[in-house]
Structure 1
Amino acid sequence: MSETPEQDSSTTTDKRQVLLREGEVAADFLETLLDICDLDGDIDLDIDGDRAAVAIVDSEDGRVPRRLVGNDGKVLDSLQELTRLAVQSATGERSRLMLDIAGHRAGRRAELVEIARTAIEECRSTGAEISLHPMSAFERKVVHDEVLAAGLASESSGSEPRRYVVVLPPTGAETGTADTADPASDEAANDEDA
């Protein structure tokens, strides 16, 4: 039985409310953490697709300490996991919330889009598979999405922590709806990085 437009709208509103609640719980947790550590930063809340997006940004009082990002985003990843656990503790549901600090993830996303576009062009011009360097689940998902948007297929290969994306060349039968790796499967396999 399919949903009526009213049910679909209600479901969308319910999901949005759940994500807003996750964001609010996360913001409270992070504000408390910043206060305890006596660190500057404001909290921004948003919804990005099907997940809450929370960012610690520079405030009028000062800049967010970049040490909260850490080398290669390792501290950021740990803070994201702690924040997800705080949300789960408050809501009873597992959270897929994304945390960004000082624009680190946004900047990395832009870099990944460029890496993906370069790989797509190389794949199209050579007709060969292009293997990229190992990436986190978050990074792989960004690349998979860009490859899919370009009408090509991609898959993840290798095993953690050296899992990477392979961009597959077009075949004569492809029409832009290629069978691609499901980026969600990367997230399910390693959601803590996503």
Structure 2
Amino acid sequence: MTDVTEQAPETAPEAVQDEGDIAADYLEELLDIADLDGDIDIESRAGRVYLSVESEQPDDLRLLSKSDVVSALQELTRLAVHAKTGEFSRLILDIGGSRDARAQELSVLVDRAVERIEGGASTAALPPMSSYERKLVHDLVAERGFTSESEGEGADRHTVIRRS
């Protein structure tokens, strides 16, 4: 099942449709190879393609929904899109609700960091994470009335939280 909605003005609907369709085809092939059932939903938000893979049997996707596996599959899917279009893809992949689960984990990390600051620490550094996760953390930190910055390079890039 594919559904493309909410096109950003700077992204042509055909380009979003193509990127989503290429990514969905790639993921369907991977699911077939692994002999797993899954429904793929495609949508576009702010010019970025979001793909969700769900199954009526949640255990079918259990191994694929681990954070590191989702990140790796997301990168492979981005490469597949790039190979077909020649364009860089910023698509986001969610398997079995893994993004929501990770967002909850990040919320707990931010809460603990805020507690350390409220307990007297001047800053609290979180572990390295992807740019997508750092963006979620920055939003969570701002909601709690604190500030945050990304520091470090490459795989060591992480978020540091401070009082406002």
Provide the rounded CA distance (Å) in 2 between the counterparts of 1:20 and 1:123: 45
Find the counterpart in structure 2 of residue 115 from structure 1: 109
Q: Which has the higher strand share?
A: 2
User: Quick one: which amino acid aligns to residue 117 of structure 2?
Assistant: C
Q: How many residues align?
A: 157
Find the counterpart in structure 2 of residue 167 from structure 1: 161
What SS does the aligned partner of 1:99 have?
strand
Q: What displacement does 1:40 show?
A: 1.3
Find the counterpart in structure 2 of residue 43 from structure 1: 40
* Structure 1 alignment gaps of length 5 or more: 1-10, 171-194
Match for 1:142 among 113, 136, 150? 136
Structure number with larger C-alpha Rg: 1
Provide the rounded CA distance (Å) in 2 between the counterparts of 1:49 and 1:108: 21
Q: Does 1:82 find its partner at 2:79?
A: no
For residues 72-96 of structure 1, the C-alpha deviation after alignment (integer angstroms, 9 at most, x for no partner) is x222222111111111122221000
Contact 2:39 2:54 survives alignment (8 Å) = yes
Find the counterpart in structure 1 of residue 55 from structure 2: 58
Could you tell me the TM-score, scaled by structure 1's length?
0.68
User: Quick one: which amino acid aligns to residue 68 of structure 2?
Assistant: K
Provide the rounded CA distance (Å) in 2 between the counterparts of 1:95 and 1:162: 23
Q: What displacement does 1:140 show?
A: 1.7
Provide the rounded CA distance (Å) in 1 between the counterparts of 2:155 and 2:9: 37
Instruction: Check 1:13–1:39 CA distance in 2 against 1; reply closer, same or farther (3 A cut).
Output: same
Q: 84-93 or 13-22: which moved more?
A: 13-22
Q: What displacement does 1:143 show?
A: 0.6
Provide the rounded CA distance (Å) in 2 between the counterparts of 1:44 and 1:12: 18
> Which stretches of structure 1, 4 residues or longer, exceed 6 Å deviation after superposition?
none
For residues 122-164 of structure 1, the C-alpha deviation after alignment (integer angstroms, 9 at most, x for no partner) is 5356472122233333322211122234443211223443332
* Amino-acid identity (%): 41
Instruction: Check 1:117–1:19 CA distance in 2 against 1; reply closer, same or farther (3 A cut).
Output: farther
Could you tell me the TM-score, scaled by structure 2's length?
0.78
